[in-house]
């Protein structure tokens, strides 16, 4: 059952992330968290996210803007080390609240609360009109890279911040998508290197089949997303992602997942 749920989530969120430039990691990580500890879930999500972005680089990577990559990407890489290191530290903190529903134990931990708050912030950013109007110019690219990389390392969430900073940087639609994909790959590679110990301790070989299936589903979603790009508006996708993030953040913050 877990492989079906995770693959469906990977497939549909991969379609969403092709439209919006974010969504796969923020939605897939909580789904993995249903079956794995939160830090391991984020690390496994990183593998799927990274592989899917590598595939998208093959599709659109040639359109990436080199200047933006340097100004945004380098700070993002450095900040992602800090975020990933902090994640490994705070997951050792004790649970804030523990309760039971039927035969299932649920835990509200500091990292779950923190990630839930981050998810709520980004969901509001996507569905509230006044927040949707907030944009950032090229002179803020370094700041955007730091914020995007840090939260990418800490929680796997980087796309929403990255999109907010890149969308008004004078890039063409093709360059915007391609540049975001390349930056996401750089941050994923960085944080996966920090998560390596957790991947080893989580018996990655035992979950290899699940990772391959989830990655294949995400790639299939990216292919379909590219074909549907002209038929669906970005505003609709942003609103949909915002609502989904609110639901997931509530479930995560209350310890249900």
- Contact between 152 and 76 under an 8 Å Cβ cutoff? The reply is yes
pLDDT band for position 202 (cuts 50, 70, 90): low
Instruction: Give the pLDDT score at 47.
Output: 81
**Tens digits of per-residue pLDDT, 44-66?**
787 888 888 889 888 888 888 88
Nearest to 69 by CA among 193, 153, 178: 178
**Tens digits of per-residue pLDDT, 159-180?**
767 776 776 677 777 787 888 8
SS3 of residue 171 by DSSP: coil
Q: What's the whole-number average pLDDT of the chain? A: 77
Give percent of the chain with pLDDT exceeding 90. 4
What is the rounded distance in angstroms from the CA atom of residue 144 to the CA atom of residue 139?
10
Instruction: Give the pLDDT score at 217.
Output: 93
Instruction: Give the pLDDT score at 201.
Output: 59
- Contact between 42 and 30 under an 8 Å Cβ cutoff? The reply is no
Instruction: Give the pLDDT score at 11.
Output: 92
- Contact between 153 and 193 under an 8 Å Cβ cutoff? The reply is no
Mean pLDDT over 6-29 rounds to 80
**What is the span of the domain harbouring residue 76?**
2-253
pTM: 0.67
Is residue 37 pLDDT above 60, yes or no? yes
DSSP-H helix ranges across the chain: 2-20, 24-33, 38-60, 66-68, 74-90, 110-127, 129-132, 141-155, 159-166, 173-194, 196-201, 208-228, 234-253
Residue 155 C-alpha from the chain's centroid: 8
Structurally, how many domains does the chain consist of?
Answer: 1
Mean pLDDT over 218-235 rounds to 79
Kindly give, in sequence order, each residue whose CB lies less than 8 Å from that of residue 17, ignoring residues fewer than 6 positions away.
23, 24, 159, 222, 225
């Amino acid at each position: 059952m877990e492989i079906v749920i995770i693959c469906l989530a990977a497939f549909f969120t991969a379609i969403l992330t092709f439209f919006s430039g974010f969504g796969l990691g923020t939605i897939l990580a909580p789904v993995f968290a249903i079956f794995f500890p939160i830090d391991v879930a984020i690390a496994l999500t990183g593998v799927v996210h990274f592989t899917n972005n590598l595939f998208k680089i093959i599709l659109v990577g040639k359109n990436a803007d080199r200047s933006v990559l340097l100004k945004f990407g380098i700070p993002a890489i450095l900040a992602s080390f800090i975020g990933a290191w902090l994640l490994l530290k705070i997951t050792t903190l004790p649970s804030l609240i523990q309760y039971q529903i039927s035969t299932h134990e649920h835990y509200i931990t500091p990292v779950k609360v923190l990630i839930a708050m981050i998810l709520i912030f980004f969901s509001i950013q996507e569905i509230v009109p006044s927040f949707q109007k907030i944009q950032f110019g090229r002179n803020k690219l370094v700041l955007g890279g730091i914020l995007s990389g840090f939260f990418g390392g800490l929680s796997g969430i980087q796309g929403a911040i990255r999109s907010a900073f890149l969308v008004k940087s004078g890039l063409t639609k093709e360059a915007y998508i391609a540049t975001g994909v390349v930056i996401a790959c750089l941050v994923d590679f960085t944080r996966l290197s920090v998560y390596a110990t957790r991947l080893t301790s989580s018996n990655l070989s035992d979950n290899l089949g699940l990772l391959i299936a989830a990655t294949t589903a995400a790639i299939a979603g990216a292919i379909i997303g590219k074909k549907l790009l002209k038929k669906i508006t970005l505003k609709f996708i942003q609103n949909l992602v915002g609502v989904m993030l609110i639901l997931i953040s509530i479930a995560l913050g209350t310890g249900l997942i």
